[in-house]
Amino acid sequence: MKIYSEIVTVVSNERIADNIYEAFLLSPKISQCSHPGQFINILPSSNWNNIMRRPMSIASQSDNKISIIYKIFGEGTQLMSEWKKNDKVDIIGPLGNKWFDYENKYPILIGGGVGIAPILNLHNYLSKENISNSLICGAKTRDEHFLDHSPKKNIFMTTDMHDFGIKGNALDALEIILNDISLPIKIFACGPHGMLKAIYDYSIKNNYGCQLALETIMACGIGICQGCTIEKKCSEDLHTYRNKYALACIDGPVFNIEELTDAF
């Protein structure tokens, strides 16, 4: 798949929840060919003195635009939050693989924190394709949510404080909504490691198909630096390459849980 180095224009960059921002970028090339699950590697500013770009999931692609959803976490995201309309930003993408095999089972999508970005992208894609699905969004507090709790639309909110939407965490929400679903399900999730680990264990225990989009430290984003390893299940052959340590940037970021060890 072709990748682009693109200088994109900021269309909007707004705070949508507590400490959480959504930026729309005019990106005629990347927006034409990106898929839910893929990411871009961002230079937060032209005088960025750090070495590493910042990888971010694509939250939407349409009308020549892509969007990202991010939380101010460090220096890079702080700089990003200062982007103004018409600013130019240097990005590389689309990178990585995409969500796959969502056709034959009922998809349950779970996003935690800003891990919601690639999940929202898949949700919108499935809805557009008339593939019914359920969406669960988890956050620490009510203030970090930017979607409405809409059970009628199969969109459910949860918080760690149990003060919004379904009382409980994302997994509690999953168990509650499963009561109303008769079809075999498949889980698609992205979010903090603790949440993903719980979903991993739950899916293994209940024999549910499950894909996770994983985040790691990353430098190049294109399979060169070998820094963004994800540990996979493998036979104990001593002399292999990318069999035990896959790269999140080109072998992922989306992995089937069958491929992963519980130390992912």
Partner 1 sequence: MLSSKIKNYEFKNPILVASGTYGYGDEVKDIVNVNSLGGIVTKSVTLLPREGNPPPRIAETASGMLNSIGLANLGVDKYIEDKIPSLNKLKTNIIINIAGSMMEDYLETLEKLESVNSKHIGYEINISCPNVKEGGMAFGVNPKITEQLTSEMRKITDKLIIMKLSPNVTSVEDIAIASEQGGADAVSAINTVVGMGIDINTHKPKLYTNFGGLSGPAIKPIALANVHKVYQAISIPIIGIGGIQSSSDVIEFILAGADLVQIGTLNYKNPNIGVEIVEDLKEYCRKNKVDNISDLKGQLKYYDH
Point out which residues bind partner 1 (CB under 8 A). Answer: 2-5, 43, 48-53, 90, 92, 216-217, 219-220, 222-231, 239-245
| CA angle at 77 for the pair 226 and 217, rounded to the nearest 5° | 20
Distance CA 238, CA 13 (A): 48
Q: Which amino acid makes up residue 264?
A: F
Closest CB to partner 1 among residues 231, 259: 231
Q: How far is the CB of 219 from partner 1 (least distance, A)?
A: 4
- Nearer to partner 1 (CB atom), residue 33 or residue 171: 33
Q: Which amino acid is at 7?
A: I
Q: How many Cα atoms within 13 Å fall on the side-chain side of residue 147? A: 26
CB of 41 to partner 1, least distance (A): 9
Q: Shortest Cβ distance from residue 221 to partner 1 (Å)?
A: 8
Nearer to partner 1, 55 or 107 (CB): 55
Q: Measured between alpha carbons, how far is 10 from 7 in angstroms, rounded to an integer? A: 10
Q: In what order do the strands lie in the sheet with 134-139?
A: 155-159, 134-139, 106-112, 185-190, 209-213, 254-256
Q: Which residues pair with 231 in a beta bridge?
A: 245
CB of 31 vs partner 1, minimal distance in Å: 16
- By C-beta, is 128 or 239 nearer to partner 1? 239
Residue 95 or 119: the one with the smaller Cβ distance to partner 1 is 95
Between 105 and 140, CB nearer to partner 1: 140
* DSSP secondary structure string for all residues of 145-212: --S--BGGGTEEEEETTS-SSSSS-HHHHHHHHHTT--S-EEEEEES-HHHHHHHHHHHHHHT-EEEE
What is the distance between the alpha carbons of residues 180 and 173, in angstroms, rounded to a whole number? 12
Closest contact distance (angstroms) between CB of 34 and partner 1 is 14
